[in-house]
Amino acid sequence: MAPTYRAGIIGCGSIAHAHIMGYQPLENVQVVAIADPVREALDEFGDRYEIEKRYEDARQMLDAEQLDIVSVCTWHKLHAPLTIAACARRPKAVLCEKPMATCLGECDDMMIAARRNKVKLAIAHQRRFNAAWNEARELILSGAIGQPLHIVAKGGQGLLNDCSHYFDMMRYVMGNPQVEWVMGNIERKTDRYERDVPIEDRSAGIIQFDNGAQGLLLQELGERNYPGRTFHGQGGFLYGSDGVLEFDEQQVRLLSGKSGKWEERIVQGEDASIGQARELVDWIEDKVEHRGSAENGRAAIEIIMSIYESARRHEVVNAPLGTHASPIQLMIDAGDLPPERPGHYDIRAFLLRGETMRPDEV
Ligand SMILES: NC(=O)c1ccc[n+]([C@@H]2O[C@H](COP(=O)([O-])OP(=O)(O)OC[C@H]3O[C@@H](n4cnc5c(N)ncnc54)[C@H](O)[C@@H]3O)[C@@H](O)[C@H]2O)c1
């Protein structure tokens, strides 16, 4: 009989639902325990999914439950400390939410903790399991648009949050090329935060990949959707030497140089969270390497931090990035980004519960 893996979830907010909905259809995974310091969140989630073991302290859960799989579903700043805490208890795998961490140094600490405890660490860039993204990937890698030249995406909510998916997307659909250099800039005229991490008001980045393609990411610059197009979730535009590909989470449009015509495909598949969870189990059983492995999660953070570093140093930043702190935080601390319109605000403060207005009050 196949073993049953005991899973636990740290952080019972919005994305935790996607994790449990990924595990539930799998016969050999059972979510046995959850942790969240907010009693209301813990009980709401526990009641809904009928989970009895509930902990207000994640470390108590990790010590008591001998988990095989740990999902880290807290805000970004807690990804590194709680992943490291989970790894220290030696589960078989940890699935940590994106963005992997708030700087490159934290990513490296997480990977060291995983390695020294022999834990498989994956980052939840779950769109790697989306059917339309995979269709786009197959078309690109099979040469349907020739040599990829430019890949363009438009995001918001700061580079770290929303855009970590877009940088991961650029690499994934092109077969995970390495980055050669990055050039970027940011504007921060207000004291803007996203889930308690300082972010810029607007930004842009150019990424040179080692497959010859250049990526362009625009964050809060112009409309996210292109005129005349209905978008279903995240996606991008890829211009090749012999065609063009547009894709989002439901559809792929291909303009082939050979046919000279647009071809449209609506692509559907299973929920990406299920594919992500299933591949985690397969990775535990050494059948495959998880496509969202920590190396790929780290690569997205390295691009983001390289854009910030390019803005900080006013230069092209060659890979690998040597700066392990967060360059946007360094700029703020050095007084290089004084908000012209002062006053801290967090674009995700609405997620907090009760009277809490800052996460450190939790
Ligand atoms: N992969 C995706 O597409 C996707 C989508 C949404 C969110 N996310 C990511 O998921 C993470 C969580 O976002 P969210 O929207 O679920 O936030 P949320 O505020 O809805 O949930 C976070 C939960 O963590 C709890 N928490 C706080 N401190 C904790 C601690 N020390 N131990 C355990 N729990 C603690 C909070 O009480 C809250 O219930 C973020 O990093 C975000 O970027 C990813």
pLDDT in tens, 88-101: 999 999 999 999 99
Compute the distance between CA of residue 96 and CA of residue 79 in angstroms, rounded to an integer.
7
- Cα–Cα nearest to 207, from 126, 310, 331, 322: 310
Q: How far is the CA of 74 from the centre of ligand 1 (A)?
A: 3
Q: Is the CB of 199 under 6 A from ligand 1?
A: no
The answer, yes or no, to whether residue 237 has pLDDT greater than 90, is yes
pLDDT at 355: 84
Q: Is the CB of 10 under 6 A from ligand 1?
A: yes
Q: Is the CB of 326 under 6 A from ligand 1?
A: no
- The pLDDT tens digits of the residues spanning 145-163 come to 999 999 999 999 999 999 9
Instruction: Give the pLDDT mean for 199-215.
Output: 98
Which residue shows structure tokens 């392990």? 324
- Cα–Cα nearest to 40, from 20, 61, 56: 56
Which residue shows structure tokens 């012999």? 242
pLDDT at 305: 98
19 vs 72, 78, 92, 161, CA distance in Å? 9, 17, 17, 18
The answer, yes or no, to whether residue 360 has pLDDT greater than 90, is no
CB 309 within 8 A of CB 317: yes
DSSP 8-class letter at 2: P
Q: Residue 359: pLDDT band by 50, 70, 90 thresholds?
A: confident
Residue bearing the CA closest to ligand 1, atom 21? 13
What element of type H or E holds 280? helix 272-284
In sequence order, what are the residues at sequence separation of 6 or more whose Cβ sits closer than 8 angstroms to the Cβ of residue 260?
Answer: none
Q: Is the CB of 73 under 6 A from ligand 1?
A: yes
Q: Is the CB of 39 under 6 A from ligand 1?
A: no
Residue bearing the CA closest to ligand 1, atom 8? 15
pLDDT at 34: 98
- The pLDDT tens digits of the residues spanning 343-354 come to 999 999 999 998
Instruction: Give the pLDDT mean for 130-155.
Output: 97
Compute the distance between CA of residue 27 and CA of residue 275 in angstroms, rounded to an integer.
13
- The pLDDT tens digits of the residues spanning 308-335 come to 999 999 999 999 999 999 999 999 999 9
pTM of the model: 0.97
Ligand 1 pocket test, candidate residues 73, 95, 129, 274, most atoms within 8 A of CB: 73
